[in-house]
């Protein structure tokens, strides 16, 4: 019982900082509708700045002043980010805002390394709270008790702010109906800036409060952001009370999971999140979201199939790519094969996001299942390479069928988070089922056949698989099934009124996308010669989102261009500089600002405007010519 009590108190102490960060994210999303992926970066910056200030200012006053000052400094940086970057893209699709904040996260990770170095930094103890209190025969750190008391106090302060102040009432009103708040004459820009500053301050103070408990390191951001998203979704988006309750649940699960359920401790919180979303799709304290203003695939001009000339150009491009092994080096061909594989991965996610309006945060699971499917076929069944490649999409389709059955019941961010939860569960199985998957040691010796052992041969084999798969996805998009899927995306009620079953249609699309991603994963296993659980981790899923958004949704060539640009830029920067994330993040932010609809989408809009301008000038010329002719005829 003493051990249980200690773990319980440790969980409550961890819940305080988690609640601060999660409440900030929940407040920001509730008003601005931004899925702020950079929230973890602000948490990390709060810890680093607090460490620097506590080194300069000592004593009781100096320590606590440093924590608050660090949070204020980071909040000021958050305001600057909101005014310079986010304010310019509020009217862009929500996922493009996610892409911009992801670019900021990459930049902050390298900036932290550049300023503070790669070593872990150990902060000072809190003055006056360095001892322990004996409770039930066990010593509980005084600082943990301080954090336990702080959580409810912050919750009460937020409740008073949102229910007893005019600004808080406006924030709550904007959470429910931003259009009505704007109609009442409220300056939304400064309201959004204030909300963003408050959310960032809470994240930064949460990070600053961790320096007496944990070492400050450059991986804090990604470690906390996943748990924060879990907390916000379980509690309900926009609910600070829900964030408080969910933070306690998640922290206690982390504290007791390693003792009670060590086999699933890594994904216990994701299992709970999946159960909550299946039973109560809007979280414990959330409310049914308002109807979506616009689906992900309706932000760019409706596309059209490639015409005859465009198909001829595409064929010529494929022929040119097929000739590359005649001129490129072995290294360049290996990089080219990887780009082709991730082009297929991006195109499979593009089918879901664009046509289905379903943004998956866990699409890497099916890419990874494809890799493991090929590995099992080679190692367990002894199949040759070509047959083993087909085993990948089969296993991925089975996994997608199971996950999709539950996921398509949800929409929006809740759908995305449920796919993330299932993805983490699949990753945990691959990581911990050592007897089958090899765990973190992976499965080695997945070599291609003799005819594909040379980089040139493997490049041609990859091209032979990827091009027909891309053509099939395009055929699906413009088939009657594709139009039915778009109908469910644009209006569920109208689609059902004409006899289209939304869940069934989206489930089939989910399985198709998973199988296509699995084919890419199978090829990737033979490219690398091994399979590891990391292939289905969160970073791979995020990379897929970035590729699709960079290229542009609702465009034929969007995922192809996005994958080529992102992978080529990533690989090249890693070979050129130690701060590749800084440059890549800056490039992503610049692309979002310059091409708010993606590279291909923005270029397509520019082309449409130019054509419209030429058509208008031709119409004016024709009208002027007709007028002159009419005047001449009227003259005697």
**pLDDT tens-digit series, residues 441-467:** 899 999 998 999 999 999 999 999 999
Tens digit of each residue's pLDDT (9 = 90 or more) over 541-580: 989 988 988 888 767 778 888 899 999 888 888 888 888 8
CA 604 to chain centre: 25
Longest dimension (CA), the chain: 116
Task: Compute the chain's Rg from CA coordinates.
Answer: 27
Of the pLDDT bands very low, low, confident and very high (cuts 50, 70, 90), residue 595 is confident
pTM of the predicted model as reported, rounded to 2 decimal places: 0.85
DSSP structural state of residue 304: -
What sign for the dihedral angle of Cα 610, 615, 616, 621? positive
Asked if 151 and 16 count as a contact pair (C-beta separation under 8 A), the reply is: yes
Tokens of 525: 């296993």
State the pLDDT at residue 625: 74
* Residues forming a β-bridge with 530: 444
Q: Closest Cα partner for 48 from 136, 1, 118?
A: 118
- φ, ψ of residue 233 in degrees (nearest 5): -70, -40
| Separation in Å, CA 634 to CA 9, 92, 202 | 96, 53, 77
At residue 293, the pLDDT reads 43
For tokens 């301050």, name the residue. Answer: 201
CA angle, residues 50, 53, 56, in degrees to nearest 5 = 150
Site of tokens 């039915």 = 484
CA distance 412 to 400: 18
Burial environment of residue 18 by CB neighbours within 10 A (0 to 12, 13 to 18, 19 or more): buried
Contact 173, 180 (CB under 8 A): yes
Rounded to whole angstroms, the Cα distance separating 582 from 604 reads: 29
User: 133: which strand partners?
Assistant: 140
Task: Pick the closest to residue 511 from 536, 476, 535 (CA basis).
Answer: 476
Q: What span, in angstroms and rounded, lies between the C-alpha atoms of 100 and 96? A: 6
**Gap between the Cα atoms of 270 and 410, Å rounded:** 16
CB-CB neighbours of 23 under 10 Å: 30
| Nearby residues of 253 by Cβ (< 8 Å), 6 or more positions away | 268, 269, 272
Q: How many CB atoms lie within 10 A of CB 463?
A: 18
pLDDT of residue 296: 43
pLDDT at residue number 633: 67
What domains can you pick out in the chain, each with its CATH number? 1-279 (1.10.3470), 332-537 (no CATH)
Burial class (CB in 10 A: 0-12, 13-18, 19+), 268: buried
437: left (phi over 0), alpha (psi -120 to 50) or beta: alpha
Lowest mean pLDDT among 146-155, 169-178, 431-440, 494-503: 169-178
DSSP 473: H
C-alpha atoms less than 13 angstroms from C-alpha of 233 in its C-beta half-sphere = 31
Query: How far, in Å, CA of 547 to CA of 603, rounded?
Result: 16
For residues 623 and 388, give the distance between their C-alpha atoms in angstroms, rounded to a whole number.
65
Compute how many other C-beta atoms are within 10 angstroms of the C-beta atom of residue 42: 31
Q: From CA 535, how far away is CA 363, in angstroms rounded?
A: 11
Percent of the chain with pLDDT over 70: 93
What per-residue confidence (pLDDT) applies to 297? 43
Q: Other C-beta atoms within 10 Å of 443: how many?
A: 23
pLDDT digits (tens, 9 = 90+) for 215-271: 898 888 888 888 888 898 888 877 888 899 999 998 888 888 777 776 666 678 888
Which of 606, 573, 575 shows the shortest CA–CA distance to 588? Answer: 573
E-only strand ranges, 16-147: 132-135, 138-141
pLDDT at 181 over 80: no
pLDDT given at position 187: 75
Query: Contact 399/366 with Cβ under 8 angstroms?
Result: yes
pLDDT in tens, 101-141: 888 998 998 999 999 988 889 888 888 887 788 777 778 88
- Do 446 and 525 touch, CB atoms closer than 8 A? yes
Strand 138-141 versus strand 443-444 pairing type: unpaired
- Across 178-187, 405-414, 604-613, the highest mean pLDDT is recorded for 405-414
Please tell me which residue, 165 or 556, carries the higher pLDDT value.
Answer: 165
pLDDT in tens, 30-84: 777 777 888 999 999 999 999 999 999 888 899 999 999 999 999 999 999 989 8
The structure tokens 């973190």 sit at: 440
More reliable by pLDDT, 553 or 213: 213
The span from the CA of 528 to the CA of 523, in Å, is 9
Q: How many residues in the chain? A: 636
For residue 119, what are the CA distances in angstroms to 125, 219, 467? 19, 11, 45
Q: Mean pLDDT, the chain, as a whole number?
A: 86
pLDDT tens sequence across 286-344: 776 554 444 444 444 556 777 788 788 888 999 999 999 999 999 999 999 999 999 99
Tell which wins on pLDDT, 268 or 388: 388
């Amino acid at each position: 019982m003493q051990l249980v009590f200690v773990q319980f108190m440790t969980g409550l102490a961890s819940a305080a900082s988690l609640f601060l960060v999660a409440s900030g994210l929940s407040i920001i999303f509730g008003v601005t509708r931004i899925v702020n992926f950079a929230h973890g970066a602000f948490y990390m910056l709060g810890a680093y700045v607090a460490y620097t200030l506590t080194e300069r200012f000592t004593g009781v006053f100096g320590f606590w002043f440093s924590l608050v000052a660090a949070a204020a400094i980071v909040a000021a940086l958050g305001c600057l980010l909101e005014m310079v970057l986010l304010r310019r893209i509020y009217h862009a699709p929500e996922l493009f805002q996610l892409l911009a904040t992801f670019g900021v996260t990459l930049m902050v990770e390298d900036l932290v390394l550049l300023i503070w170095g790669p070593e872990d930094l150990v902060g000072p103890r809190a003055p006056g709270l360095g001892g322990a209190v004996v409770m039930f025969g066990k010593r509980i750190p005084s600082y943990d008790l301080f954090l336990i008391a702080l959580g409810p106090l912050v919750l009460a302060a937020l409740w008073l702010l949102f229910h007893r102040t005019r600004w808080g009432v406006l924030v709550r009103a904007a959470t429910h109906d931003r259009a009505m708040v704007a109609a009442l004459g409220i300056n939304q820009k400064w309201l959004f800036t204030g909300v963003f500053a408050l959310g960032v301050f809470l994240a930064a103070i949460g990070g600053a409060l961790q320096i007496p408990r944990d070492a400050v390191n450059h991986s804090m951001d990604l470690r906390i952001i996943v748990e924060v998203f879990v907390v916000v979704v379980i509690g309900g988006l926009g609910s600070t009370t829900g964030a408080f309750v969910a933070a306690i649940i998640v922290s206690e699960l982390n504290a007791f999971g390693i003792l009670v359920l060590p086999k699933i401790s890594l994904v216990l919180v994701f299992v709970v999140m999946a159960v909550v979303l299946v039973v109560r799709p809007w979280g414990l304290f959330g409310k049914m979201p308002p109807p979506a203003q616009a689906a992900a695939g309706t932000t760019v001009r409706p596309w059209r199939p490639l015409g005859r000339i465009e198909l001829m150009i595409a064929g010529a491009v494929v022929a040119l790519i097929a000739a590359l092994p005649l001129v490129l080096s072995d290294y360049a061909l290996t990089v080219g094969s990887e780009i082709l594989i991730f082009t297929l991965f991006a195109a499979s996610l593009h089918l879901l996001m664009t046509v289905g309006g379903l943004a998956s945060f866990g699409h890497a699971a099916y890419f990874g299942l494809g890799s493991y499917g090929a590995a099992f076929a080679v190692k367990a069944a002894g199949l040759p390479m070509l047959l083993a490649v087909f085993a990948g999409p089969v296993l991925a389709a089975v996994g997608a069928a199971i996950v999709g059955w539950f996921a398509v019941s949800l929409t929006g961010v809740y759908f995305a988070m449920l796919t993330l939860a299932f993805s983490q569960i699949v990753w945990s199985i691959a990581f911990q089922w050592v007897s089958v998957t090899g765990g973190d040691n992976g499965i080695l010796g997945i070599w291609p056949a003799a005819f594909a052992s040379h980089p040139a041969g493997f490049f041609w084999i990859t091209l032979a698989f990827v091009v027909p798969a891309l053509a099939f996805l395009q055929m699906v998009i413009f088939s009657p099934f594709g139009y039915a899927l778009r109908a469910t995306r644009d209006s569920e009620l109208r689609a059902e009124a004409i006899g289209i079953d939304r869940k069934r249609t989206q489930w089939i699309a989910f399985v198709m996308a998973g199988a296509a991603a699995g084919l890419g994963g199978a090829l990737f296993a033979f490219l690398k010669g091994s399979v590891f659980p990391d292939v289905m981790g969160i970073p791979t899923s995020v990379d897929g989102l970035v590729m699709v958004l960079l290229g542009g949704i609702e465009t034929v060539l969007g995922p192809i261009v996005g994958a080529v640009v992102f992978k080529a830029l990533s690989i090249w920067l890693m070979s050129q500089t130690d701060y590749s994330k800084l440059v890549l993040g800056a490039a992503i932010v610049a692309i979002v600002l310059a091409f708010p609809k993606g590279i291909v989408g923005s270029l397509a809009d520019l082309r449409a405007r130019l054509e419209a301008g030429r058509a208008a000038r031709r119409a004016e010329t024709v009208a002027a010519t007709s007028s002159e002719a009419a005047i001449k005829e009227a003259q005697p």
